[in-house]
Amino acid sequence: MKHRFLIVGLLLLFGLSSVWAQTEPPVVDSMVVDSTELFPAAVSDVQVVDKPNDHGHAVIVTWETSADDGGGKNNVLRYEIFYSTSFDGPFDSVGAVPAGTGEFRHIGSKEPLDSAFVPDYTDLFYQIDAVTADPTIRTTSDVLGPVQCSGQWFNTGRIPVLVAVLIFGLLTAFFVLSAKRGKKLYVRPIGGIEAVDDAIGRATEMGRPILYVLGLGSAADVATIASFTILGRVAKRVAEYQTELIVPTYDPIVMSVAQEVVKSSYFDAGRPEDFKEDCVHFVTQSQFAYVAAVNGIMLRELPATCVYMGKFFAESLLLAETGSLAGSIQISGTDEIAQIPFFIVACDYTLIGEELYAASAYLGREPKLLGSLKAQDWAKAAFVALAIVGLLAANFEWFEFTTLFQVID
Amino acid sequence: MRRTTYIVVAGVVLLFGLSWVLHAVSMSGEADGIERAFMITMAAFLTLAIYSFLYKDNPFYKFAEHLYVGVSAAYWMCQAFWSTIVGNLFPRLSEGLSNYFQQPYQASGWNITYWIPVILGIMLLMRLTEKYGWMSRWPLAMIVGTTAGLNFVRYLRSDFVVQVSSTFMPLLGEDPHRWQGFGAFISNLDLSATGQLAAIVSNWVIFFGVICGIIYFYFSKEHSGAFGRASRLGIWILMITFGASFGYTVMGRISLLVGRITFLFRDWLEIIS
Amino acid sequence: MRRQIPFGLVFIFGIFMVFQFFVPHEKSEWVYEFLLDWIIVIGIFALALGIWSLFKVSVEKIKQGKEGGNYSYITLVGLYMMVAFGFTQQTGEGWGLYFLWIMLCSACIVSLMRLRASTDSGKKRMWALASVGFLVAAVLVAIFDDAWAFFLYTPEGLENSMFEIFFDHIMMPILATMFSLLAFYIASAAYRAFRARNVLASLLLLAALLVMSRFNPVIPGAEYVANASNWLMNVPNLAAQRAIVIGIGLGIVGTALKIILGIERGYMGRG
């Protein structure tokens, strides 16, 4: 009897253990529990605002990174940002940023037919997913919004530029008016400028032409416009001395303007009948074909003087070296920094950068043109003063001052 | 002299003719072999014609130069016509014009404004007439005004305001090279390019280099005395920079020459593989 | 009045662009984009002026019978051929009489130029007959040859294999060769700098030599040379570039302001 209870008890225990063994989901259940633990914490303190100082169609999303980004489970790999025009979705992915980042700029397209279009003046909703190495393991934030984006009518980030515009404008106006009232404005001698008149005289003595190259710039480039003024001066002297002038051009609009400028100079010199329109002619809008043609002109016409003023690129050295081979006196000026060394080496006189603009103002022979040169010098003086104050500010960490000059686009 | 020129020209033509024949023979198994042989020979001839300019101006260079000018001018004209006028302008001007040129019409309520540049363009062409030449100034005024306004603010921003803030630099170094007293400086004296000495010296050179450079470009005052010395230092720094820029470009230019020599010796003469 | 209106336009457009810079709104941006498009369109019309100038100058050179004027035939024929390729395309497998047509048209152009340049009436008659003959032959070929056709409304011409061949085998080799001439010129320019014995040229040359030597392992102390070269590029170069950039920037700003305000008027001619 005693044994019977013992045997039944053991059988029951065996049976129960078997049933328990079958009903218990040991492996699968434990996995579910573990994966739940792998889900990272959601991001917090999310804010969505319209991007300021833009044309609209853009939103800035900021958030506090997940507790598991750089700490906790440390398993957040990136954040994915989704947006929708409805609170209930569907939400479309608009981008992702790596872990550790707390900001995303959703810059949409302004074209309604573009898939990346983001409408203005429309409620927009955002969600941010903290994503782990396994893209299926992610935690989605609450829906945020609504936010509306729109364009602004004033870019506050460009206030420093506006201040500079106003100051520079006023300085220029002041000096131009001073010059108009007859105040003498001193400009230091610049080698290349003085050389222009001598070079024209030399060409006349030798009975050889003057070659004037306006470069590869368009009529809209300020360097080319400065060059027109210099061309005007050169053409006037050429007309007075009755020397030949050759102006091959790269741009058809530049050709039109140059023809007008040279024609005017011949009128001013009192020799309109000597003006030949074809002395200013178009070559081609292909950079090296233009160089090939100008080089040919140099070696065939053997100009006494070659003047290169305007925008130049890789062709600068090809032109200047050929001019040198032709035995010409060469005067150059460009604002293309990379080409200045070649002109310095191959030409007799080179106007470096701003000197081209100074030469233009100087050779224009009008006092009011020098007004802006004075304003430029004042701006340079202001730059030096600001640089010294800024230097102190940077060393003593006066960030209020240094941030004043930051332009934010 | 003329006779010699003719003989040389005939000789060169014969030589390149022979080159064409030999290439054509070696390419006879390939599709368009004769045409390709001609084009390789032509390219080689034009390459050597341009190089001949290094010796002196000559008929071969003149030929290549004039051909290049004519072909390139027409090339850009065709591209401008088909891509800009037919491809982009006509589809905005009118539906009829778009259909005529078989381009998809790009409907927009503001397409009418594209007639303005067309009118301005025609006004520019008025230059060709004596009576209405003055009209060409209007489109010119529009172009010059637009770009002058654009350049005025753009350059004031990028070349002045932004440069001002870039020049604010700590002369006593930044982390990790910040100045921590003379003792620390001496005990950690390091002449390497990444050391504290180099970092601090570099900041000083940049700051005073910029100031002296700007003084050189100052036009309203005579460059004499201390001002003149600063200006002199400025032009020295400019010259060092120009020299560095010159040296930096040399390698790139030589690689261009290598490219052409490779064409001549590999593609044309087939001497190297 | 004719002179004042353009300056008024310069002022209006210039001031608009200045304001536009500070107004990021879509409407302002829209006008800005329109204006830039307009400039491109006007530029295309200007190209016609340029081609006319090139044509006129080439014809004049031939007419004047100057030395080397005969090379202008090559320019004119090259110009014509490329335009012809840009507006024609083959319609089947072969080219038929296409190249004969190209040659007849070229011969017609040459004859017309000779006609214009001739002073002798007998020669004039001969060239006039020749040009009419070539023209008639070219028209007949164009009418009766079906292997190719004109495409005046659709850009098939840009895919004409001859158009591409001229670009690849004439324009590109000359372009690359012209560019590579710089290798010779840079050497002769360096020699010129070497000969100019003054402080500035010497500084320029020394800096150039230092930077040129930066990849040369044969030089003793190559590592120091490389370091010095890098320092030169990163430090004094940065300072000088900044000074030049500020100068150029202010030069552009000053000139642009003078243009907007109508102080700088040289570019507009006299009127």
Residue of C nearest to A168 (CA): C254
Is A55 inside a domain boundary? yes
**Residue C134 and residue C78 share a domain:** yes
**Residue C172 and residue C83 share a domain:** yes
**Residue A135 and residue A204 share a domain:** no
Question: pLDDT digit string (tens) for A342-395?
Answer: 999 999 999 999 999 999 888 876 788 888 899 999 999 999 999 889 888 887
CB contact under 8 A, B213 and C244: yes
Report the SS3 class of residue A129. strand
User: How near does any CA of chain B get to the CA of A126, in Å?
Assistant: 32
**Residue A289 and residue A193 share a domain:** yes
**Residue A122 and residue A209 share a domain:** no
Question: Cβ(B148)–Cβ(C14) under 8 Å?
Answer: yes
CB contact under 8 A, A324 and C192: yes
pLDDT at B230: 95
Is A233 inside a domain boundary? yes
**Which run of H or of E encompasses A147?**
strand A144-147
Q: Shortest CB distance from A405 goes to which of B65, B164, B223?
A: B164
Is residue A283 within 8 angstroms of chain B, CB to CB?
yes
Look at strands A44-50 and A138-140 and give their pairing.
Answer: unpaired
CB contact under 8 A, B218 and A374: no
- Rounded to 5°, the CA angle C127-B74-B140 comes to 115
Q: How far apart are CA A63 and CA C209, in angstroms?
A: 54
**Residue A210 and residue A347 share a domain:** yes
Instruction: Give C167's contacts in chain A (Cβ within 8 Å).
Output: none
Q: How far apart are CA C102 and CA A380, in angstroms?
A: 61
Which pLDDT band, with edges at 50, 70 and 90, does B175 fall under? low
Q: Which chains touch C (3 or more CB pairs under 8 A)?
A: A, B
Which DSSP string corresponds to chain C?
-TTHHHHHHHHHHHHHHHHHHH--SHHHHHHHHHHHHHHHHHHHHHHHHHHHHHHHHHHHHHHHT-TTTTHHHHHHHHHHHHHHHHTEEESSSS-TTHHHHHHHHHHHHHHHHHHHH--SHHHHHHHHHHHHHHHHHHHHHHHH--SEEE-SSSGGGGG-HHHHHHIIIIIHHHHHHHHHHHHHHHHHHHHHHHH--SHHHHHHHHHHHHHHGGG-TTSTTHHHHHHHHHHHHHTHHHHHHHHHHHHHHHHHHHHHHHHHTT---GGG---
**Residue C87 and residue C164 share a domain:** yes
Tell which A residues from 202 to 261 touch C, by Cβ distance under 8 Å: 218-220, 222-223, 225-226, 228-229, 232, 249, 251-253, 255-257, 260-261
pLDDT at B190: 56
**Residue A189 and residue A143 share a domain:** no
User: What's the mean pLDDT in B135-150?
Assistant: 92
Residue A59 has pLDDT above 60, yes or no: yes
Query: How many domains does chain A contain in total?
Result: 2
**Residue C207 and residue C156 share a domain:** no
**Taking the CA of residue B199 as centre, how many other CA atoms within 13 Å lie in the half-sphere pointing to its CB?**
16
Nearest to residue B194, comparing CAs of A146, C6, C234? C234
Is A139 inside a domain boundary? yes
Instruction: Give A253's contacts in chain C (Cβ within 8 Å).
Output: 42-43, 46, 49
**Which run of H or of E encompasses A57?**
none
Question: pLDDT digit string (tens) for B32-55?
Answer: 788 889 999 999 999 999 999 999
Q: How far apart are CA B38 and CA B50, in angstroms?
A: 18
Percent of chain A with pLDDT strictly greater than 70? 90
**Residue C114 and residue C17 share a domain:** no
**Residue A189 and residue A117 share a domain:** no
CB contact under 8 A, C42 and B120: yes
Q: Is the peptide bond before A303 cis (omega within 30 degrees of 0)?
A: no
Residue A17 has pLDDT above 80, yes or no: no
Nearest to residue A73, comparing CAs of A102, A46, A34, A104? A34
Percent of chain C with pLDDT strictly greater than 90? 62
pLDDT at A27: 44
Question: pLDDT digit string (tens) for A134-175?
Answer: 888 888 888 887 899 999 999 998 999 999 999 999 999 999
User: How near does any CA of chain C get to the CA of B149, in Å?
Assistant: 4
pLDDT at B179: 62
End of a domain among C42, C67, C92?
A: C67
Q: Which two tokens stand for residue B269?
A: 């003469």
Burial code (b: 16+ CB inside 10 Å, e: under 16) for C87-124 equals: bbbbeeeebbbbeebbbbbbbbbbbbbbbebbeeeeee
In this structure, chain B runs to a length of 273
**Residue A243 and residue A134 share a domain:** no
End of a domain among C16, C33, C67?
A: C67
Q: What distance separates the 2 farthest-apart alpha carbons in chain B?
A: 85
Residue of A nearest to C263 (CA): A369
The CATH number that applies at residue A62 is 2.60.40.10
Query: How many domains does chain C contain in total?
Result: 3
Tell which B residues from 82 to 111 touch A, by Cβ distance under 8 Å: none
Q: Shortest CB distance from B152 goes to which of C183, C242, C256?
A: C256
End of a domain among C156, C180, C204?
A: C180
Q: Shortest CB distance from A386 goes to which of B53, B146, B164?
A: B164
Q: How far apart are CA C240 and CA C234, in angstroms?
A: 10
Lowest-pLDDT choice from B38-47, B174-183, B244-253, C29-38: B174-183
Residue with tokens 């020459």: B257
Residue A195 has pLDDT above 80, yes or no: yes
pLDDT at B178: 64
Which DSSP string corresponds to B195-257?
SHHHHHHHHHHHHHHHHHHHHHT--SS---HHHHHHHHHHHHHHHHHHHHHHHHHHHHHHHHH
Question: pLDDT digit string (tens) for C93-134?
Answer: 888 999 999 999 999 999 999 998 888 899 999 999 999 999
Q: How far apart are CA B130 and CA B120, in angstroms?
A: 17
Residue A277 has pLDDT above 50, yes or no: yes
First to last CA, chain B: 40
Predicted-complex ipTM score: 0.92
Question: Cβ(B197)–Cβ(B182) under 8 Å?
Answer: no
Nearest to residue A234, comparing CAs of A318, A372, A360, A353? A360
**Residue C45 and residue C8 share a domain:** yes
Is A38 inside a domain boundary? no
In terms of residue numbers, what domain contains C3?
Answer: 1-67
Q: How far apart are CA A167 and CA A228, in angstroms?
A: 28
Residue B117 CA: distances (Å) to CA of A251, B113, C48: 18, 8, 15
Nearest to residue B173, comparing CAs of B163, B165, B164, B184? B184
Q: Which residue has the higher pLDDT, B181 or A315?
A: A315
In terms of residue numbers, what domain contains A300?
Answer: 185-365
DSSP 8-state code for residue A348: S
A291-300, B202-211, C62-71: which has the highest mean pLDDT?
A: A291-300
Q: How far apart are CA A306 and CA A324, in angstroms?
A: 9
Q: How far apart are CA C264 and CA A372, in angstroms?
A: 10
The strand pairing partners of A309, in sequence order, are: A333
The CATH number that applies at residue A317 is 3.40.50
**Residue A356 and residue A224 share a domain:** yes
Q: Reduce the secondary structure of A148-179 to three states and give it as a string.
A: CCCCCCCCHHHHHHHHHHHHHHHHHHHHHHHH
CB contact under 8 A, B156 and A165: yes
**Residue A358 and residue A267 share a domain:** yes
User: How near does any CA of chain A get to the CA of B22, in Å?
Assistant: 30
Is residue A353 within 8 angstroms of chain C, CB to CB?
yes
A-interface mutation test, from B159, B162, B165, most A Cβ less than 10 A away: B165
